[in-house]
Amino acid sequence: MIKSSSTSCEMPPWVIFHIPHDSTVIPSEVRDQFVLDEKDLSRELIKMTDRHTYDLIVGIFPASQIVKFPVSRLVVDVERFESDYDEYMAARGMGVIYKTTHELKPLRRHLLPAEREHLLSKWYRPHHELLTVAVDKALNEFRRALVIDVHSFPSLPLPYETDLTAYRPEICIGSDSYHSPGEVVHAMSRSFESHGFEVGINTPFAGAMVPAKHYKKDERVQAVMIQIRRDLYVDENTSFLNESSTLVQERLKNALLQWLTLSGEMVPPFTASSADQPLIR
């Protein structure tokens, strides 16, 4: 994939990219937890990993503004609530620590409480701490933060999904009722559409990522999710980049730059003068 020719100084410094599902790394110390053989585990990783989402973004933004989870979501899923009591996907065996595959078949052996705790303390909590620190740093320096959660999704629904009939546009924008101002979401949608993408809001996936410390407590933290349909840039059977990937990355970059320029000009709701000014100047 190409690297962006733009310089980082163009980028709003309060933006943080969160890349949770890019990695295929299964640390050897936890390999024995999975009941799949190598072939089936490889297939599961192809189905469940948002491959190359880091590559799509790192050429656009400096690495210092990217928080990437370093191991596979099959180890722990940092997008889930830590407690299964809070996480509705736990009912499908896909809470923070997956028990089932994308086909809702057995993925893992039963874990001892100490093994679960080890996964959370080694991978889940440190990652959330990194994201929280990045958001706090942006708030301290710029009085605002924007978390952009980047994913990809398959062109056809996987059996574990909750709505198998949902519309699957090329770009899905996920929003949160508290942290995603309508102006920001609509500007994002328009920017992607103006670069030729078919866009949907909260379909087939919904929501946005906000650290628990700030969730529904601090409106200075804005958040959106971008889900890119995988057939745009990879062969979905192998996860290898396809012949369109370079062009798609360029269009993504330009759409993001256009949108972030607009977002940067939007008056945040928390500034003293905002009551007298329109949202888009």
CB of 53 to Zn ion, least distance (A): 8
Tell which one of 51, 52, 108, 151 touches Zn ion (CB under 5 A).
Answer: 151
Report the residue number, 79 or 218, with the smaller CB distance to Zn ion. 79
Tell which one of 21, 179, 230, 253 touches Zn ion (CB under 5 A).
Answer: 21
CB of 220 to Zn ion, least distance (A): 26
CB of 50 to Zn ion, least distance (A): 4
Query: Can residue 102 be called a binding residue for Zn ion (CB under 5 A)?
Result: no
Stretch touching Zn ion by CB under 5 A, among 19-27, 40-48, 63-71, 244-252: 19-27
Report the residue number, 21 or 230, with the smaller CB distance to Zn ion. 21
Report the residue number, 226 or 262, with the smaller CB distance to Zn ion. 226
Handedness of CA 137, 13, 70, 53 (dihedral sign): positive
- The answer to whether residues 252 and 7 touch, using CB atoms and an 8 Å cutoff, is no
Query: Can residue 50 be called a binding residue for Zn ion (CB under 5 A)?
Result: yes
Q: How many residues bind Zn ion (CB under 5 A)?
A: 3
Query: Can residue 77 be called a binding residue for Zn ion (CB under 5 A)?
Result: no
Q: Distance between alpha carbon 109 and the CA centroid of its chain, in Å?
A: 27
Site string for Zn ion, 242-281 (x = CB under 5 A): ----------------------------------------
CB of 145 to Zn ion, least distance (A): 21
Report the residue number, 50 or 218, with the smaller CB distance to Zn ion. 50
Report the residue number, 226 or 266, with the smaller CB distance to Zn ion. 226
Stretch touching Zn ion by CB under 5 A, among 27-35, 46-54, 138-146, 259-267: 46-54
Output the DSSP codes for the chain: -PPP-S-GGGS-TTEEEEE-S------GGGGGGB-S-HHHHHHHHHHH--TTHHHHHHTTS-GGGEEE--S-TTT--TTS-SSTTT-GGGGGT-SSS--B-TTSSB-BPPPPHHHHHHHIIIIIHHHHHHHHHHHHHHHHHHS-EEEEEEEEE-SS--TT-S-TT----SEEEE--TTTS-HHHHHHHHHHHHHTT--EEES-SS------TTTTTT-TTEEEEEEEEEGGGTB-TTT--B-TTHHHHHHHHHHHHHHHHHHHHHBPPTTSTTGGGS-SB-
β-sheet bridge partners, residue 34: 108
CB of 137 to Zn ion, least distance (A): 25
CB of 151 to Zn ion, least distance (A): 3
CB of 150 to Zn ion, least distance (A): 8
Task: Give the interface with Zn ion as residue ranges (CB under 5 A).
Answer: 21, 50, 151
